[in-house]
Amino acid sequence: MALSCLRMCHRLSSVRLSGIGTSSSIPSLYLSGLSQQSRSPLCRHYTSSKVRRGLGRFISSRLQAANVKYESFLKKRFPRFFLLYHTFMEGFKMLFHDAKEVKRINMKMLYGGVKYQDLPYREMEKLRQFRRDLIKGIPLVMISIPPFANYLVFVLMYFFPRQLLIPHFWNPKQQIEFRSVYHSIRAQHHRPVLQELEDASRLVKNVQAQTCLKSLCDNVKRGANPHVSDILAVRSLFSGPPLGIRRLRVDQMRHISPLLFLTPHLPSFLLGRRLNRHGLELLQLDRALSRLGLHQLNESELRQACYVRGINAYCLGANQCREWLSRWLQVSSSLKDSEVSLLLHCIVFLSTNYPNSPHRC
């Protein structure tokens, strides 16, 4: 019985193999003809990539339509919330655009062999501002990590936009209001910086240089705008003791830090290093701006450049901003890296009384 079964299986297997050998060409020809005739239109009209693109366009159009309806609903029913929502959405778009631009600049520096000090002014300013915005935004991101914490973050952002949000998420009215607040905080340190300079002038051994420094401080205190030549006359005092960037007293560094919107609540050795780094960065930015030329800046860029350097340009006209920035660059272009301390003190010398009153804004 077992032998008969084995013989039967052997015969069946031989028949199956012979069938495949004799008739396999017919199905293959048929399938090839089918693939060439009936399958090619399907591949031509219904490829997976085109299906994905069509599906993506469909989903995108539906989402856009839903978004338009949602925005119109908010605008009619909740106009205040719509303004906040619109500001946030535009802010995220600008932030995403800036992130892409910063990535491009970093790739240019990494693979193109371009050094930071050789970058054009606008790219250098973009890197500087984006880094500062990123540092300010990190705490808010950390708070929102726990589950359901994003609702709390949204409430905090609504009630404390100046303290928590970066300028991308400020509306135009807030841009002017918040910058004025920050400038008023900065201006509170003008007098202490001048007082520290007068105290440090007693340590100057050169009588003529000591007299020039005291005269400069007195003129600013009386409400005068010093000449560029008066500032450059004391430049030698700011490259070494007692007013060099690494020789400043701790109290002086703590009053200078808010001029650059930096916290003064750090150890003294960190304060000195950070002031030196930010001062050199500002000096390199000035050199890039001198290469570009003030006439190349639009009004918004002009006001931002003045604001970074110590004056609330949103209270001034474009011509006044250009005039003030020209005086700043006259001083900056004459300074060496070792005299960066004088550049930081110019925030007080040149902006305290410009144009005519310290309380103009």
For the entire predicted model, the pTM comes to: 0.77
**161-180 pLDDT, tens per residue?**
898 888 988 888 899 999 99
How many CB atoms sit inside 10 A of residue 161's CB?
17
Q: How many residues does the chain have?
A: 361
User: Helices (DSSP H) in 144-241: which residue ranges?
Assistant: 149-159, 161-164, 172-187, 190-201, 207-221, 228-232
Round to the nearest angstrom and report the end-to-end CA distance of the chain.
Answer: 112
Produce one character per residue of 93-114: b if its CB has 16 or more CB atoms within 10 Å, e if not: eebeebeeebeebeeebeeeee
**254-311 pLDDT, tens per residue?**
999 999 999 999 998 899 999 999 999 999 999 999 999 999 999 999 999 999 999 9
pLDDT of residue 169: 87
**43-96 pLDDT, tens per residue?**
444 456 666 677 777 787 777 777 677 667 767 777 777 777 778 788 888 989
pLDDT of residue 27: 38
- Quote the tokens at residue 106: 């970093």
- Quote the tokens at residue 202: 């007693």
DSSP state letter for 354 = S
150 — pLDDT class (breaks 50, 70, 90): low
CA nearest to 312, candidates 260, 348, 349, 361: 361
